[in-house]
Chains A and B, each alone.
Chain A
Amino acid sequence: KNQVEQSPQSLIILEGKNCTLQCNYTVSPFSNLRWYKQDTGRGPVSLTIMTFSENTKSNGRYTATLDADTKQSSLHITASQLSDSASYICVVSAYSGGGADGLTFGKGTHLIIQP
């Protein structure tokens, strides 16, 4: 069964500090891995998407890494801001050959930035 595990479940850090969120997956055959940011009461917004051959991708202060051998990904947030307070969702896509995209969603890490 395809699974995506995220850690920690929740995290509180002070504004200006860095943090790293983890994602471990058992999805096969692997196609790509995405990180989304979801503000409270809003829909998720895509931050990065990485395929098998990519091991790092940045989007501003967000940097995602992928180790396809160990099936792990991380999302590093640099110099956190209050607006970074949100849930961060890891989504892994398997080649499904069909229309459902073969997506498996993690439960998310709830990040709170304190002033």
Chain B
Amino acid sequence: DGGITQSPKYLFRKEGQNVTLSCEQNLNHDAMYWYRQDPGQGLRLIYYSQIVNDFQKGDIAEGYSVSREKKESFPLTVTSAQKNPTAFYLCASRVSAGTQPQHFGDGTRLSIL
């Protein structure tokens, strides 16, 4: 079945540590996105990518980095510069053209040790 796979499901970060969240899709979608979800808030866009080897900052990119070396993969690194990383992180993808909705993965919950 086609879909988006995020791993790990749960992740813990120590002070000063960078951690990387994986996002893989087999939907052949061009566009991929990373969102952060905090309790009582709407999803906020961190980074997005329309094509391989290109990505753009979203509304809350500080303290995060991404890469898009392959169409299927869009990993997110939460760096030590992100002082409040505890959140639920969602990856999404969609076809670039038209009004098709985004397809979401099942998220990674990141916590601080």
Contact of B56 among A44, A99, A107 (CB under 8 A): A99
Q: Contacts A100-B45, A107-B40, A107-B42 given; indicate if A44 touches B50 (C-beta within 8 A).
A: no
* Residue of A with least CB distance to B9: A41
* Residue of B with least CB distance to A42: B106
State how many angstroms separate the Cβ of A21 from the closest Cβ of chain B.
15
B42 touches A4 (CB 8 A): yes
Q: Which among A32, A99, A108 has the greatest number of chain B C-beta atoms within 10 A? A: A99
B107 touches A99 (CB 8 A): no
Q: Using Cβ atoms and an 8 Å threshold, which residues of chain A touch B100?
A: 49
In whole angstroms, what is the CA distance A108 to B104 when docked? Answer: 16
Contact of B48 among A31, A41, A99, A104 (CB under 8 A): A99
* Residue of B with least CB distance to A48: B101
Q: Using Cβ atoms and an 8 Å threshold, which residues of chain B touch A93?
A: 99
B112 touches A (CB below 8 Å): no
What number of A-B contacts does a CB cutoff of 8 Å give?
56
Q: Using Cβ atoms and an 8 Å threshold, which residues of chain B touch A36?
A: 101
> Chain A: interface residue count, which band?
20 to 34
Q: Contacts A51-B99, A107-B41 given; indicate if A100 touches B107 (C-beta within 8 A).
A: no
State how many angstroms separate the Cβ of B23 from the closest Cβ of chain A.
11
Interface residues of A in 60-107 (CB under 8 A from B): 89, 93, 99-101, 103-107
In whole angstroms, what is the CA distance A50 to B20 when docked? Answer: 35
State how many angstroms separate the Cβ of B88 from the closest Cβ of chain A.
8
A34 touches B (CB below 8 Å): yes
A45 touches B (CB below 8 Å): yes
State how many angstroms separate the Cβ of A98 from the closest Cβ of chain B.
8
In whole angstroms, what is the CA distance A65 to B90 when docked? Answer: 27
